Amino acid sequence: MSKNHSITEEQFHSKNFGDDFIWGISASAPQSEGAHNIDGKGFSIWDTFSERRKKILNGDTPHHASQFYHHYKQDIAIIKSLHIPNFRFSISWSRILPNGIGAINQPGIDFYNRVIDECLANNIVPWVTLYHWDLPLALSHKGGWANREIIHWFSEYVTLCIRTFGDRVKHWMILNEPMVFTGAGYFLGVHAPGEKGLKKFLPAVHHAVLCQATGAKIIKNEIAIAEVGSTFSCSYITPNSNSAKDIAAANRIDALLNRLFIEPSLGMGYPINELPLLKKIERYIKPGDENLMLADFDFVGIQNYTREVVAHTYLVPYLQAKVIPANKRKVYHTTMDWEVYPEAIYEMIKKMSSYSGVKKIIVTENGAAFHDEEQNEKINDEERINYLSGYLRQVHHAKADGHKISGYFVWALTDNFEWTEGYYPRFGLVHVNFETQKRIIKQSGWWYKNFLNGKE
């Protein structure tokens, strides 16, 4: 029995990870802030995409969300009460630059100054994500991520953020899950802005790679001591069988989901050999781009929830591969139909650690959505507690095995807007009644507090 598995439930807590391990909780602007059209904020692509009929479950929009814009003091006080030392949140690009570039919206600047100052006043370290999918609508009208000009637009935005907030914020993440916002938004069309096909997807990928490197360079040039990273969605990929076709299909999906953005930032180029559809991306690569793609990240954020089982099929264009849903495989899964498979996070930490250019890894998102029932103003979410405990044991296993894991952030602080699934999935450690905005700390929130205090 390994040392990791010999730790009893009573003995398993944050102290097992060492004193320098980073613990936190995460949120994002478009999913939690609400206040989408007040105090000078411009529209984002999610504000308008969500208004289209049948795009979001139950016709939900992010317009109100969990009202972090109005409840930030209460929510930060909750973080403090749970003894969580680090808070990851994002800045809404269109809240501080309503048109994406040009005129600055001072009320938006003032809001984030208040959030940062409130964190610091409560001894909570702010970790800021610069882009969490809410592109200003005005820039989308100009082509968005498919337009190479976004490198200049993004540079202006990053420069404003670092010069405005960099005196107090030392931890920065450039992009949140670029594979998701390019793949779902520009290839599949199921996320904002709703584009489909390779024509917009391939340039969007390349420009996002250039922006994640450019953003990191800007921050480092402005504040040398800043800690800069970017976050990458990742799923442990396994073939449906031992057949050569299923294995090859799994390798293609792995290249797409797990390698497409991290490898070019490390100077390895795009995984074209394993994913031939990327061959056409070369038409968007200009002389000198190979160096512009390089990003000297201080850390890499990984966001893992599950594994995916992949089978070969001729019916899916380009990929000849399909993901078999968890419910079809009849395995235990969350309300997102994501398999509960704790070993996945170990495998992804191990995979990212294998890159020599990766200095350290922080799990910047991990969590689960389950059906929460309120009884006597309490929510006994045992399934979420078991999920977090199981995944954290695998994080500890990875650390014990010498992999480069240095921190862990739970997703999410509060229940919030979960993109095309609307308000149905609840990921929060804090329950939100979206009609009254009343907050209730779930049992998982109290469990996390005890875990951090060394009582679990």
54: left (phi over 0), alpha (psi -120 to 50) or beta: left
Q: Could you give the CA distance from residue 256 to residue 258 in angstroms, rounded to a whole number?
A: 6
- 177 an active-site residue? yes
- 263 an active-site residue? no
Q: Active site residue: 347, 365, 383, 418, which one?
A: 365
331, 350 contact by CB (below 8 A): no
DSSP-based helix, strand, coil % in the chain, nearest 5: 40, 15, 40
Identity of the residue numbered 378: K
CA 107 to chain centre: 26
Q: Quick one: DSSP state of residue 285?
A: P
414, 31 contact by CB (below 8 A): no
40, 108 contact by CB (below 8 A): yes
C-alpha dist (Å) from residue 22 to 139, 225, 242, 304, 350? 35, 18, 39, 17, 18
- Token pair for residue 89? 């949140």
Q: For CA atoms 154, 173, 445, 369, give the dihedral sign.
A: positive
Q: Active site residue: 33, 177, 308, 418, which one?
A: 177
Vertex 352, ends 347 and 357: CA angle to 5°?
A: 160
- Token pair for residue 162? 């670092």
Would you mind telling me the total number of residues written for the chain in this entry? 456
**φ, ψ of residue 175 in degrees (nearest 5):** -120, 145
List the end-to-end C-alpha distance of the chain, in Å, as a whole number: 21
- Token pair for residue 270? 């795009």
126, 116 contact by CB (below 8 A): yes
Mode of pairing for the β-strands spanning 227-233 and 171-176: parallel
Vertex 23, ends 21 and 26: CA angle to 5°?
A: 145
Annotate 237-268 with b (16+ C-beta within 10 A) or e (fewer).
Answer: bbbbeeeebbeebbbbbbbbbbbbbbbbbbee
**What's the half-sphere exposure (Cβ side, CA atoms, 13 Å) at 75?**
31
Catalytic residues: 177, 365
